[in-house]
Amino acid sequence: MKEPDKVLDEYLVTRAQAGSREAFERLARRWTPGLLRFAMRNIGQQETARDIVQETWVAAIRSLGRLNDAARFRSWIYGIARRKCIDVIRSSQARRKLAGRLQGESQAENAVPAAAPGVVDESGLGKALDRLGHEQREVVALYYGEGLSIDEISAVISVPAGTVKSRLFHAREFLKKQLGD
Protein backbone atom coordinates (compact mmCIF):
# COMPACT_ATOMS: atom_id res chain seq x y z
CA MET A 1 0.00 0.00 0.00
CA LYS A 2 1.28 3.44 -0.89
CA GLU A 3 1.74 6.23 1.60
CA PRO A 4 -1.01 8.89 1.49
CA ASP A 5 1.50 11.64 0.63
CA LYS A 6 2.76 9.68 -2.39
CA VAL A 7 -0.77 9.06 -3.58
CA LEU A 8 -1.55 12.76 -3.22
CA ASP A 9 1.58 13.69 -5.18
CA GLU A 10 0.71 11.25 -7.96
CA TYR A 11 -2.79 12.69 -8.14
CA LEU A 12 -1.50 16.27 -8.21
CA VAL A 13 1.10 15.45 -10.86
CA THR A 14 -1.50 13.76 -13.04
CA ARG A 15 -3.85 16.74 -12.69
CA ALA A 16 -1.03 19.21 -13.35
CA GLN A 17 -0.03 17.29 -16.47
CA ALA A 18 -3.63 17.61 -17.62
CA GLY A 19 -3.34 21.38 -17.25
CA SER A 20 -4.54 22.10 -13.72
CA ARG A 21 -2.77 25.21 -12.47
CA GLU A 22 -4.19 24.65 -8.99
CA ALA A 23 -2.65 21.16 -8.81
CA PHE A 24 0.75 22.49 -9.89
CA GLU A 25 0.56 25.27 -7.29
CA ARG A 26 -0.22 22.70 -4.59
CA LEU A 27 2.80 20.65 -5.66
CA ALA A 28 4.95 23.75 -5.48
CA ARG A 29 3.68 24.61 -1.98
CA ARG A 30 4.28 21.03 -0.81
CA TRP A 31 7.80 20.66 -2.19
CA THR A 32 9.32 24.14 -2.06
CA PRO A 33 10.43 23.95 1.62
CA GLY A 34 12.33 20.68 1.03
CA LEU A 35 13.89 21.94 -2.19
CA LEU A 36 14.96 25.11 -0.42
CA ARG A 37 16.62 23.10 2.38
CA PHE A 38 18.37 20.95 -0.23
CA ALA A 39 19.65 23.97 -2.16
CA MET A 40 20.81 25.65 1.06
CA ARG A 41 22.78 22.56 2.05
CA ASN A 42 24.48 22.51 -1.34
CA ILE A 43 25.01 26.22 -1.92
CA GLY A 44 24.97 27.78 1.54
CA GLN A 45 23.48 31.11 0.46
CA GLN A 46 19.81 31.71 1.12
CA GLU A 47 19.14 34.12 -1.73
CA THR A 48 20.91 31.88 -4.25
CA ALA A 49 19.02 28.86 -2.89
CA ARG A 50 15.72 30.69 -3.43
CA ASP A 51 16.74 31.48 -7.01
CA ILE A 52 17.61 27.83 -7.58
CA VAL A 53 14.21 26.70 -6.30
CA GLN A 54 12.47 29.22 -8.53
CA GLU A 55 14.46 28.02 -11.54
CA THR A 56 13.63 24.44 -10.56
CA TRP A 57 9.90 25.17 -10.72
CA VAL A 58 10.25 27.00 -14.04
CA ALA A 59 12.01 23.94 -15.47
CA ALA A 60 9.37 21.67 -13.92
CA ILE A 61 6.57 23.63 -15.60
CA ARG A 62 8.29 23.23 -18.95
CA SER A 63 8.98 19.51 -18.65
CA LEU A 64 6.22 18.09 -16.43
CA GLY A 65 4.50 16.61 -19.48
CA ARG A 66 7.56 14.45 -20.11
CA LEU A 67 7.42 12.84 -16.66
CA ASN A 68 6.13 9.38 -17.57
CA ASP A 69 5.67 8.00 -14.06
CA ALA A 70 3.96 10.31 -11.58
CA ALA A 71 5.23 8.09 -8.74
CA ARG A 72 8.77 9.25 -9.54
CA PHE A 73 7.96 12.94 -9.02
CA ARG A 74 10.03 13.23 -5.84
CA SER A 75 13.27 12.03 -7.38
CA TRP A 76 12.49 13.90 -10.62
CA ILE A 77 12.05 17.30 -8.91
CA TYR A 78 15.13 16.82 -6.71
CA GLY A 79 17.08 15.87 -9.84
CA ILE A 80 16.16 19.18 -11.44
CA ALA A 81 17.17 21.06 -8.27
CA ARG A 82 20.46 19.18 -8.18
CA ARG A 83 21.29 20.18 -11.75
CA LYS A 84 20.44 23.81 -10.96
CA CYS A 85 22.78 23.68 -7.92
CA ILE A 86 25.56 22.24 -10.09
CA ASP A 87 25.03 25.03 -12.63
CA VAL A 88 25.42 27.66 -9.90
CA ILE A 89 28.56 26.00 -8.51
CA ARG A 90 30.13 25.76 -11.97
CA SER A 91 29.27 29.36 -12.74
CA SER A 92 30.71 30.49 -9.42
CA GLN A 93 33.92 28.56 -10.03
CA ALA A 94 34.24 30.06 -13.50
CA ARG A 95 33.80 33.58 -12.08
CA ARG A 96 36.43 32.91 -9.41
CA LYS A 97 38.87 31.64 -12.03
CA LEU A 98 38.31 34.67 -14.21
CA ALA A 99 38.70 37.04 -11.26
CA GLY A 100 41.92 35.25 -10.32
CA ARG A 101 43.33 35.69 -13.80
CA LEU A 102 42.37 39.35 -13.83
CA GLN A 103 44.12 39.87 -10.50
CA GLY A 104 47.26 38.22 -11.85
CA GLU A 105 47.21 35.11 -9.65
CA SER A 106 49.47 32.28 -10.66
CA GLN A 107 48.24 29.54 -13.01
CA ALA A 108 48.52 26.95 -10.24
CA GLU A 109 46.18 28.89 -7.98
CA ASN A 110 43.66 29.26 -10.80
CA ALA A 111 43.67 25.52 -11.53
CA VAL A 112 42.48 24.62 -8.03
CA PRO A 113 38.71 24.99 -7.94
CA ALA A 114 37.31 26.50 -4.77
CA ALA A 115 35.26 24.15 -2.66
CA ALA A 116 31.53 24.50 -3.10
CA PRO A 117 30.01 26.26 -0.12
CA GLY A 118 28.22 23.90 2.19
CA VAL A 119 26.13 24.10 5.25
CA VAL A 120 26.38 27.46 6.95
CA ASP A 121 26.65 26.38 10.55
CA GLU A 122 29.19 27.13 13.24
CA SER A 123 28.70 23.81 15.06
CA GLY A 124 31.25 21.03 14.79
CA LEU A 125 28.85 19.06 12.61
CA GLY A 126 28.43 21.95 10.20
CA LYS A 127 32.19 22.40 9.92
CA ALA A 128 32.67 18.67 9.40
CA LEU A 129 29.97 18.61 6.70
CA ASP A 130 31.72 21.50 4.96
CA ARG A 131 34.88 19.36 4.78
CA LEU A 132 33.07 16.55 2.96
CA GLY A 133 33.52 16.36 -0.77
CA HIS A 134 30.61 17.62 -2.85
CA GLU A 135 29.44 14.13 -3.86
CA GLN A 136 29.37 12.89 -0.27
CA ARG A 137 27.75 16.08 1.05
CA GLU A 138 25.09 15.78 -1.63
CA VAL A 139 24.06 12.23 -0.69
CA VAL A 140 24.12 13.12 3.02
CA ALA A 141 21.82 16.08 2.35
CA LEU A 142 19.40 13.98 0.32
CA TYR A 143 19.42 10.99 2.67
CA TYR A 144 19.42 12.61 6.09
CA GLY A 145 18.16 16.08 5.25
CA GLU A 146 15.39 15.24 2.80
CA GLY A 147 14.67 11.62 3.71
CA LEU A 148 15.10 10.21 0.21
CA SER A 149 15.72 6.49 -0.09
CA ILE A 150 18.89 5.00 -1.59
CA ASP A 151 16.98 4.22 -4.80
CA GLU A 152 15.55 7.74 -5.01
CA ILE A 153 18.98 9.29 -4.50
CA SER A 154 20.32 6.96 -7.18
CA ALA A 155 17.71 8.31 -9.59
CA VAL A 156 18.37 11.94 -8.60
CA ILE A 157 22.14 11.87 -9.10
CA SER A 158 22.19 9.22 -11.85
CA VAL A 159 24.54 6.74 -10.20
CA PRO A 160 23.97 3.12 -9.14
CA ALA A 161 22.48 2.47 -5.70
CA GLY A 162 25.75 0.82 -4.66
CA THR A 163 27.59 4.07 -5.36
CA VAL A 164 25.11 5.98 -3.19
CA LYS A 165 25.65 3.46 -0.38
CA SER A 166 29.40 3.76 -0.76
CA ARG A 167 29.30 7.56 -0.64
CA LEU A 168 27.10 7.45 2.47
CA PHE A 169 29.43 4.96 4.13
CA HIS A 170 32.54 7.05 3.42
CA ALA A 171 30.77 10.22 4.52
CA ARG A 172 29.79 8.59 7.82
CA GLU A 173 33.34 7.33 8.37
CA PHE A 174 34.76 10.77 7.64
CA LEU A 175 32.26 12.42 10.00
CA LYS A 176 33.06 9.90 12.73
CA LYS A 177 36.75 10.78 12.45
CA GLN A 178 36.00 14.49 12.45
CA LEU A 179 33.53 14.41 15.35
CA GLY A 180 34.69 11.34 17.24
CA ASP A 181 32.48 8.29 17.70
Q: Whole-angstrom Cα distance, residue 54 to residue 151?
A: 26
CA-to-CA dists, residue 147 to 100, 151, 179, angstroms = 39, 12, 22
Residue type at 81?
A: A
Residue type at 73?
A: F
The residues spanned by each domain of the chain are 1-117, 119-181
CATH of 1-117, one of 3.40.1360.10, 2.40.70.10, 1.10.760.10, 1.10.1740.10: 1.10.1740.10
Query: Is 111's pLDDT higher than 60?
Result: no
Query: Is 100's pLDDT higher than 80?
Result: no
Query: Is 27's pLDDT higher than 80?
Result: yes
CA-to-CA dists, residue 62 to 73, 150, 156, angstroms = 14, 27, 18
Q: Whole-angstrom Cα distance, residue 41 to residue 140?
A: 10
Is residue 161 within 8 Å of residue 151, measured between CB atoms?
yes
Cβ atoms within 10 Å, residue 130: 16
Whole-structure pTM value:
0.67
- CATH tag, 119-181: 1.10.10.10
- Burial bucket for residue 142 (CB in 10 Å: 0-12, 13-18, 19+): buried
Render pLDDT for 40-59 as a digit per residue (tens, 0 to 9): 988 888 999 999 999 999 99
Average pLDDT along the chain: 83
One fold for 1-117 and 119-181: no
Is residue 77 within 8 Å of residue 33, measured between CB atoms?
no
Q: What percent of the chain has pLDDT over 70?
A: 81
Higher model confidence: residue 22 or residue 117?
22
Render pLDDT for 155-175 as a digit per residue (tens, 0 to 9): 888 889 999 999 999 988 888
